[in-house]
Amino acid sequence: MPAYARVLIDADAVIEAQDAEAPVPWWSFGKTIIAATALRLAELGRLSLDDDAQGYSLRQVLRHEAGLKDYGPLPAYHQAVAAGDTPWPAAELRRRAGADTHAFPPGQGWAYSNIGYLEARQRIETAHPGTLEAAAQQLIFEPLGVTARLALAEDDLDGVEMGPARGYHPDWVYHGLFVGSLAEAARLLAGLLGPNSPLQASSLAAMRQSRALPQFAGPVWKAPSYGLGLMRSTIEGGFVAEGHTGGGPGSAIAVYGREDRAGRVAAVFALEGAGIDPEAEAARLLA
């Protein structure tokens, strides 16, 4: 597979594609899957989005408003990943990140938190006994006819384009590392946000209800915001793009659709050093 792959779909038709069927890591695009799975469980009455018995709600977790800290800034985390160390137990991760204290009072700020999505995963696995993969397969993937899987061991990444991160252990992605083709990622987002979504209209509206994040505005994102596992922004051309970006050792992915044209979705994957900005390329394809 080349260092760069892309796909653009519109109304289930492939408009253009390059190496879009090769399996790649979806990185934090998995947050969209986690949020959608949690919303579906809430619809079924098996999970509460607003119970704040822990001092914050799942809705706040999914919008990164719970004040939970992150492991991304930890040098020791990145050093351990680079060294090929065995992933830390979740309790050790939380201790190292100082996750028992909040970065801000819940609901009174915003900070991206992978630890928050680890907690969301744990709540899903309690509400739907088994694995996150089983819940996502039953509630999201199967209704949409999408094929993807959760990597749980190093050999689950055999055949997946990891670039320079060969030998990577997927458990370093504590909320879970989904893998699949770019084409499947695009079909998933198109189906999830489209008229035949497995989610009720009220859940889709909740997913899109987002917090404005002007501090992240830039050349691609003119008015960025974050909903429930959904990055959203007005981009050049005046339309709203929505989806998620992800990145990890050696590669990055961006999967975005147009709010005003259901079914039009672009997905872009690039290896480190390819000279491609997946977000900018996805925005270009959507225009």
Share of the chain above pLDDT 70, in %: 100
DSSP assignments along 118-129, one per residue: HHHHHHHHHHTT
Give the three-state DSSP class for 179. Answer: strand
Q: Model confidence over 136-179: pLDDT tens digits?
A: 999 999 999 999 999 999 999 999 999 999 899 999 999 999 99
Q: Model confidence over 2-39: pLDDT tens digits?
A: 799 999 999 989 999 999 999 999 999 999 999 999 99
Look at domain 4-286 and name its CATH class: alpha beta
Q: Model confidence over 198-248: pLDDT tens digits?
A: 999 999 999 999 999 999 999 999 999 999 999 999 998 899 999 999 999
**How far, in Å, CA of 230 to CA of 244, rounded?**
6
Structure tokens at 132: 């996150």
pLDDT over threshold 80, residue 126: yes
**Residue for token pair 């001092």:** 55
Q: Model confidence over 255-282: pLDDT tens digits?
A: 999 999 999 999 999 999 999 999 999 9
pLDDT over threshold 90, residue 129: no
**How far, in Å, CA of 64 to CA of 213, rounded?**
12
What confidence score (pLDDT) does residue 82 get?
94
DSSP-derived letter for residue 233 is E
Q: Model confidence over 64-81: pLDDT tens digits?
A: 999 999 999 999 999 999
Share of the chain above pLDDT 90, in %: 96
**Residue for token pair 């914050």:** 56
Q: Domains of the chain: which residue ranges? A: 4-286
Amino acid at position 181, single letter: S
Sign of the dihedral through C-alpha 5, 87, 93, 137: positive
Q: Model confidence over 41-61: pLDDT tens digits?
A: 999 999 999 999 899 999 999
